[in-house]
Amino acid sequence: MATATTNRKRVLVTETFAASGMALLQGRSDIEVLTFPNGIGQADFNTLLRAHAPVHAVALGPTRFGEDELESSGDMRVVTRIGVGFDAIDLPALSRRNVPLMTVGTANSPSVAEAALFMMMALAKRGAELDALVKEGRWAERLGGIPFDLLGKTLVVIGFGRIGSRLVKRCVAMEMNVQVYDPYTAAAGIAAAGAEAVDDLDAALAGADFVSIHCPKSPETVGLFDAARLARLKPTAYLVNTARGGIVDEPALHAALTGGRLAGAGLDVFAQEPPQPDNPLFRLANVITAPHLAGVTREALDRMGLQTAKNILSAFDGAIISENVINKDVLG
């Protein structure tokens, strides 16, 4: 087992950690930084933690973290996510040991909002279909699927947090009719952004041309869009999910898309990641996909790396950035 240099705190970060964040951590003489592969297996990750214990902080990509990892770390002070999702983290386990979980706040929010808007536009403008017509010499078929405008269309945004609020701002500017379903946000704040707060999700869905999901994955939201809820949508409506897999019931979505009860979907996230290549959704022409990269742009990676490093240092220095702490019960 490794022994930490006196008064130095050991930090494990993914090997893809942004240079800006790495420079900030390495600029501190009281910190030792070690890297690990982003796709490391859970057993190997635990072995790594034990080999370098005590480990005082980790900066995680998709790696899971809970009771076993806390035990392996020896003296964990803060767990950080290089992102905003935390469904792979055992939050109660961290809280029991008074270990804060920190995310990057707004660092990648504009990127996800842009990705959601891109998917909406790609679906409306038939991006993939029209590209194929030109490249495959099928010009004569160009009037078979006419694109349409977002202008005047009704968008229902699920969640008015860091990402949803930014999507609202962009879509209001594009002259869409924007409605927001978020039972935890005051209607006045939504109205100030130029959107309409709705209390009845099912009623709102009936009039939606687009739905974009921006809520966290939780027991409350898993399966939020099941067969019954998808049936509330018009056959001409489109669903976009850049939040988390599992919020949309994929078999129910496939049934709606193939049964003519939904016009199309844009999916950046899936119930299983990576998804199986034979996922039936991938065979549908009215589905566009991305490999969970909505929040991963060159600029977002820099912002997230830098914010993650700042989160770690704030925890070490006794001035924790409280707005980025998820389990606020540990703040005392």
What is the tens place of the pLDDT at every residue in 97-128?
Answer: 999 999 999 999 999 999 999 999 999 999 99
pLDDT band at 1, cuts 50/70/90?
A: very low
Residue 210: count other Cβ atoms within 10 Å of its Cβ.
26
Element (H, E) at 179: strand 177-181
**Mind listing the domains of the chain with CATH numbers?**
9-107+298-330 (3.40.50.720), 109-289 (3.40.50.720)
Q: Which one of 273, 283, 299, 323 is the catalytic residue?
A: 273
What is the tens place of the pLDDT at every residue in 36-63?
Answer: 998 899 999 999 999 999 999 999 998 9
In the annotation, is 52 catalytic?
Answer: no
pLDDT band at 6, cuts 50/70/90?
A: low
Only one residue has tokens 């998917």, namely 119
pTM for this one?
Answer: 0.86
Q: Does the pLDDT at position 247 exceed 50?
A: yes
Q: Which one of 77, 81, 292, 303 is the catalytic residue?
A: 292
In the annotation, is 32 catalytic?
Answer: no
Write down the pLDDT at residue 3.
46
Q: Which one of 77, 244, 254, 303 is the catalytic residue?
A: 244
Indicate the average pLDDT of the chain: 95
In the annotation, is 244 catalytic?
Answer: yes
Rounded distance between C-alpha atoms, residue 248 and residue 270, angstroms:
8
Per-residue pLDDT, averaged over 221-245, amounts to: 98
Cβ neighbours for 267, distance < 8 A, ≥ 6 positions apart: 240, 241, 248, 281, 287, 288, 289, 290
What is the tens place of the pLDDT at every residue in 60-73?
Answer: 998 999 999 999 99
Write down the pLDDT at residue 230.
98
